[in-house]
């Protein structure tokens, strides 16, 4: 938990969100400003600033995070299969367009059209 981190506060339930998933390590919720019909954010509960802070030791939980993404996508309205699908995005750093400094995976999808950003 980092003081004044929005996603730490959301993951701990101190700030309300539309939660779709929670376990010991992860928390997922709807993005407040969705870029598509489905737009979820999957965050580790532990405060990690960005992908630039990732070390080799983090590979296991990071792999679990990626493996959760298709499950959450399909449970929340992304169409399964080749004709469906979704985008997974991790904005990293200022030049990477990251606005919230707590690592998060965007899960973006649902019926087209929507902007491919």
Q: How do strand 105-109 and strand 38-44 relate by DSSP bridges?
A: antiparallel
Q: Using the rule CB under 5 A, which residue among 47, 79, 89, 91 binds Zn ion?
A: 47
Q: With binding defined as CB under 5 A, does residue 89 bind Zn ion?
A: no
**In this chain, which of 8, 11, 17, 69 binds ligand 5GP, going by CB under 6 A?**
17
DSSP output for the chain? --TT-HHHHHHTTSS---EEEE-SSEEEEE-SS-SSSEEEEEEESS----GGG--GGGHHHHHHHHHHHHHHHHHTTPPPSTTS-EEEE---STTTT--SSS--EEEEESSSP----
Q: Which residues are catalytic?
A: 104
Q: Cβ of residue 16: shortest distance to ligand 5GP, in angstroms? A: 9
- Site track for ligand 5GP across 52-91, x = CB under 6 A: ---------------------------------------x
Residue closer to Zn ion, measured from CB, 7 or 86: 7
CB 47 within 8 A of CB 2: yes
Closest approach, Cβ 99 to ligand 5GP, in A, equals 4
**Residues near ligand 5GP, by CB under 6 A:** 6, 17, 29-33, 41, 91, 97-100
């Amino acid at each position: 938990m980092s003081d004044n981190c929005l996603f730490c506060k959301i993951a701990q339930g101190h700030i309300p969100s539309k939660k779709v998933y929670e376990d010991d390590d992860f928390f997922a919720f709807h993005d407040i400003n969705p870029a598509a019909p489905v737009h979820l954010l999957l965050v580790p509960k532990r405060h990690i600033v960005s992908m630039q802070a990732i070390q080799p030791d983090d590979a296991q939980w990071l792999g679990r995070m990626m493996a959760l993404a298709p499950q959450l996508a399909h449970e929340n309205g992304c169409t399964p299969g080749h004709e469906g699908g979704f985008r997974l995005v991790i904005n990293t750093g200022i030049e990477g367009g990251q606005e919230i400094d707590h690592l998060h995976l965007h899960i973006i999808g649902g019926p087209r059209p929507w902007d491919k950003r």
